[in-house]
Structure 1
Amino acid sequence: MVIGCWLATALSLRRVLLGATLLFMATSVLMAFSPPYAAQIIVRFAQGMAGGVLLPMAIVALLRTLPARHRALALALYISASTLAPQLAAAITGWLLDHWGWRALFLANLLPGIFALIAGFYGLPRERLRLRPLLHMDRFGMLLFVGGLGMLACAFDQGNRLDWLQATPIRVLLFAGTVAICGFIYHVVRVRHDRLLNVELLSRRNIVLGILGILPFSVAVTGCSYVIPQFLIQIHSYHPRELGAVLWDAGWPQLISFAGAVVCLDRKWLGGPRRLLVLGGVLVATGALHDSLNIDGSWEGDELRIGQILQGLGLPLILLPLLYLYVGDLLPREGLHAAMAFNVMRSICGTAGLAWVSTLDRVREQTRSNVLMDYVSTSSAAVSARLDALISAVSMRSSGSDQATEQALHLLASNVRLQSQILAHADTLAAIAVVTLIGAVLAAFMMPYGSGHPSSNVRHA
């Protein structure tokens, strides 16, 4: 993302976007032919670089090519890739695996890539080369920024698996990444020319709150894209193909919500983007709380539908108004810097949000399991009666009383583990609702659209 925005200032948006699309398509084809492991690492690295370039470039391309009166539509098209992808990915992945095999997962990128190349070739304006950004690149600042973000992303991604601060690599990555980011902030404030990041953007309230608001959104989206799938996989042994139908209940409402949000933003209905943002937070929190308070082991697709629909309606109403207020305070020349800042924060907050939710889910499962195991003791009359019933049930399939008792204890422990997982998912959904509501409160402090734009400040002065 960082390198892509820097290259776009020198080589032009058109060249960088088309080149990144070609690279992404080429690496997808290479991965489909299963190269050796060492080559796979290199190809996946190149594919990740291309994908990282495409993210911030897409929003800049939409804002540049569509008229200003269609700004809300441009943002909705861009954001739909973030909010709809988790719901559509499970269904598409399951269908491709069932019908075409794993190679189709990579080759499926070719068709949209071809359309993107054609649209970019004819739709993006041609711009001249600018050699100054290439010759005067802030190499030290880029090293600090990219290195710091990379180390933090690795720590967030592997923290739950390695038990966070209990593992030396995680401690080292968190410390080194934090030092690098702090060093970058100090460096970029001192640099006057050829800055990698325009720090003047951080003097505008909506820019700062827009960046901070990405974190609660990243947590909010995990309710229907992570917690519910984990519940279905752990409790009901769902496969990816079966998850698609359930996740689609959070997908189709987004189409309705996006259309309604675009109309409301264009015609200034419902009191503007800030109220839409608050409404989105309330809808997502309500859906998460509905599932948290009612979920049990019998819940499957039909029972989860109400919560999924509410969250699907709310997610676009969070990110679309948030980004709408964010870009309202920007000058055209600040687009690349702002796109880089927003997408970098969206990427790192997405990793951090998922890490927090997965860690909370694991810790709550351990806590609930310990509480239930303390309660489940043979001294309890109810537990003893349940254990005797299990022993009687398995005795016909056992070779002796000792084996029957062992099998009964195993069944009892499995039931405890199952109940602790259900309770942990309920606790996690409740926590997601609280974080989402905090984000909605944060939105109330954002200024009206365009009030922080530099031109408005000049007029008031």
Structure 2
Amino acid sequence: MTPEMRGRILTGTCGVCAAWMVMMSTRFFALSLPDIEGVLGIGPDQGSWLAASYLAFEPVGVALGCWLAVIFSLRRVMLPAILLFVIASAIAAVTHDLTMMILARAGMGFAAGIIVPLAIITELRTFPPTWRALAIALYSSAATMAPQAAAPLDVWLVTRWGTPAIFWIAIPLGGIAFVCGYLGLWRERIRWLLFARADLRVVFAFSVGAILLGGGVSQGNRLHWSETPLTLFAVVTGIALLTGVLVLDGRRVVHPILMTRLLTRRNALLGALIAIPYQFASVLSGSLVPAFLADIPAYRPEQIAPALDAVFWPQALAYPVCVMALRYGWAEARTFLVLGFGLNALACLLDLDVTSDWIPGNFLAGQILQGIGLPWILLPLLMLFVGDVVPSEGLYAAAIFNVARSLAGTVATAWAATGLRLRAEGRYGELLTSSGLQPHRRMVAAWNGAGALPRTTPDPALLDHRARSVCGTLVRHQSVVIGFSTLLADLGLMLVVTCVIAACMPPAGADRPGEQS
């Protein structure tokens, strides 16, 4: 094996392991959050700050990581970020203090924001241009496959070693990524002149704006948005600061934190915008279905895992098909992009008839379609996006795409939580006030639940209390089910509209400058 080939293998392994470490750790935390709250002795309200701190600092890490990598080189930024993520994970594993856990989660979010965009640059530099589809597939597998693979692994880790194990698992993956990166990542000179000519005020404004926007959006549902002035202030101020950054970076800045002139190219602009509905599509299998199973049947992670496994295995076929078709020109990237969004819209349609009796097996068909559709969205989307970018713009382009992806993920999660809550609250009032003479078909489960009421009791007051409790629970379940169904209808409509937009995208490289990328 030649030294060049060995270096490529080490570099590619670094990027893949680092990206998988980040995405798996994110799913571990989401699945085991109630257990983590129990270990810390806190409730859901305080526990929400653990997720908010991660989401607030992730977009800051994305932009700053790419910005610093242009100055100090990818190697000098990637390796410390991997080390920071591992150290923060270790702190989270051993601490029992809420403040320290919030700081550790913020450190993990900041490091994750640095790692994810640099990982795709690592893969693109590892493979020749003819195998760009394979390079992107290895990277995007972390975003689509790692969260699903984490579900059964989370169950095994928690069962065998307890909740802290979900944080310790970052050490072996991070260790492999660090060693491979140390041996394989190329060494480059430091560009001090770029740092001297940078507009640090814009960098500071972006960091503050991203933190305020991410934190405000992630806490908005819990604080009921308009009912808490602090949430609105954070969101509005964050949007204002980020808008100002986009305007200021449009000037002739030597080293901008976001190279907004890239957005004048059609595929770069549409690619960043379509990253938003992609994040909404991934919410279906990543958040909505697990949340439904945890709320209605009250399932634990080990019972939810089969539903997530159904998304994982189809990707083992979907990725090779897409890579080979794009590599040899059998199909265009736009074709796969439209098919991917269409399959996700069909998955929403198959789940519209959900009832409170549904178990993971009922979601199987929709989850399989998502397992095929998600790779057929992200891989061709990135192919179209990078097709309009030359190598010297790679880090700037990665920053734009991943800032959009990170903020869109936060917004999509908040949309799912808020939308489900508002729809459920509305249906709950309707069901309580309805006469019941013409019940909705989803209310059949509520009528069947009448058998749960106690038939005899010596205390009429106790009988009334139990009856109200059981009826209230049944009605709440049905309101959540109906709210879940209407939310899927909205999501499916959004994905159908995105199919039309994706079909209108120009071919890859249509607006690329003369330099061969």
Please state which band the TM-score falls in when normalised by the shorter chain: over 0.9
Q: Given that residues 221 and 414 in structure 2 are in contact (C-alpha distance below 8 angstroms), is that contact kept between their aligned partners in structure 1? A: yes
Instruction: Describe how 1:69-148 pairs up with structure 2 within 5 A.
Output: 69-148=130-209
Q: Distance in 1 between matches of 2:480 and 2:243?
A: 39
Match of 1:362 among 398, 408, 421: 421
Q: Which residue of 1 aligns with 2:75?
A: 14
> 1:173 Cα deviation (Å)?
1.0
Q: Distance in 2 between matches of 1:263 and 1:391?
A: 57
2:249 counterpart SS class: helix
Distance 1:412 1:32, change over 3 A: closer
Q: Distance in 2 between matches of 1:427 and 1:392?
A: 28
Q: Which residue of 2 aligns with 1:181?
A: 242
Match of 1:237 among 284, 295, 298: 298
Q: Which residue of 2 aligns with 1:275?
A: 335
> 1:39 Cα deviation (Å)?
3.9
> 1:89 Cα deviation (Å)?
2.9
What is the RMSD of the two structures over their aligned residues, measured on CA atoms?
2.3
Q: Distance in 1 between matches of 2:194 and 2:90?
A: 32
Task: Single out whichever of 78-87 and 403-412 deviates more from structure 2.
Answer: 403-412
> 1:158 Cα deviation (Å)?
0.8
Match of 2:469 among 397, 405, 410: 410
Q: Which residue of 1 aligns with 2:344?
A: 284
Q: Which residue of 1 aligns with 2:316?
A: 255
Q: Distance in 1 between matches of 2:129 and 2:452?
A: 74
Q: For each residue in 1:392-451, what CA deviation from the matched residue of structure 2 results, as whole angstroms up to 9, or x when unmatched?
A: 95132x223343233223322222111111111111111111111122111112110111
Q: Given that residues 159 and 355 in structure 1 are in contact (C-alpha distance below 8 angstroms), is that contact kept between their aligned partners in structure 2? A: yes
Distance 1:267 1:392, change over 3 A: closer
Instruction: Describe how 1:211-360 pairs up with structure 2 within 5 A.
Output: 211-270=272-331, 272-292=332-352, 294-360=353-419
Is 1:428 matched with 2:452? no
The aligned amino acid for 1:207 is: A
> 1:94 Cα deviation (Å)?
2.1
Q: For each residue in 1:228-273, what CA deviation from the matched residue of structure 2 results, as whole angstroms up to 9, or x when unmatched?
A: 1111111111001211111111111122111111111111223x01
Q: Distance in 2 between matches of 1:421 and 1:164?
A: 20
Distance 1:192 1:15, change over 3 A: closer
Q: Given that residues 279 and 317 in structure 1 are in contact (C-alpha distance below 8 angstroms), is that contact kept between their aligned partners in structure 2? A: yes
Q: Given that residues 391 and 408 in structure 1 are in contact (C-alpha distance below 8 angstroms), is that contact kept between their aligned partners in structure 2? A: no
Q: For each residue in 1:317-373, what CA deviation from the matched residue of structure 2 results, as whole angstroms up to 9, or x when unmatched?
A: 111111110000101000000001111110000000111121111111111112211
Task: Single out whichever of 155-164 and 294-303 deviates more from structure 2.
Answer: 294-303
1:399 counterpart SS class: coil
Q: Distance in 2 between matches of 1:297 and 1:189?
A: 51
Q: Which residue of 2 aligns with 1:154?
A: 215
Task: Single out whichever of 118-127 and 206-215 deviates more from structure 2.
Answer: 118-127
1:394 counterpart SS class: coil
> 1:391 Cα deviation (Å)?
9.0
2:427 counterpart SS class: helix
Q: Given that residues 217 and 439 in structure 1 are in contact (C-alpha distance below 8 angstroms), is that contact kept between their aligned partners in structure 2? A: no
Q: Which residue of 2 aligns with 1:437?
A: 496
Q: Distance in 2 between matches of 1:261 and 1:217?
A: 17
- Any unmatched runs of 5+ in structure 1? none
Q: Given that residues 88 and 244 in structure 1 are in contact (C-alpha distance below 8 angstroms), is that contact kept between their aligned partners in structure 2? A: no
Residue-pair matches, total: 450
Q: Given that residues 227 and 429 in structure 1 are in contact (C-alpha distance below 8 angstroms), is that contact kept between their aligned partners in structure 2? A: no
The aligned amino acid for 1:344 is: V
Q: Which residue of 1 aligns with 2:513?
A: 454
The aligned amino acid for 1:285 is: A
Q: Given that residues 216 and 436 in structure 1 are in contact (C-alpha distance below 8 angstroms), is that contact kept between their aligned partners in structure 2? A: yes
Distance 1:407 1:69, change over 3 A: same
Q: Given that residues 65 and 124 in structure 1 are in contact (C-alpha distance below 8 angstroms), is that contact kept between their aligned partners in structure 2? A: no
Superposition TM-score, scaled by structure 1 size: 0.92
The aligned amino acid for 2:224 is: D
Distance 1:10 1:236, change over 3 A: same
Q: Which residue of 1 aligns with 2:5?
A: none
> 1:456 Cα deviation (Å)?
7.8
Q: Distance in 2 between matches of 1:360 and 1:106?
A: 31
Distance 1:236 1:393, change over 3 A: closer
> 1:35 Cα deviation (Å)?
6.4
> 1:81 Cα deviation (Å)?
1.3
Q: Which has the greater radius of gyration?
A: 1
The aligned amino acid for 2:320 is: A
2:468 counterpart SS class: helix
Q: Distance in 1 between matches of 2:77 and 2:208?
A: 22
- Any unmatched runs of 5+ in structure 2? 1-61
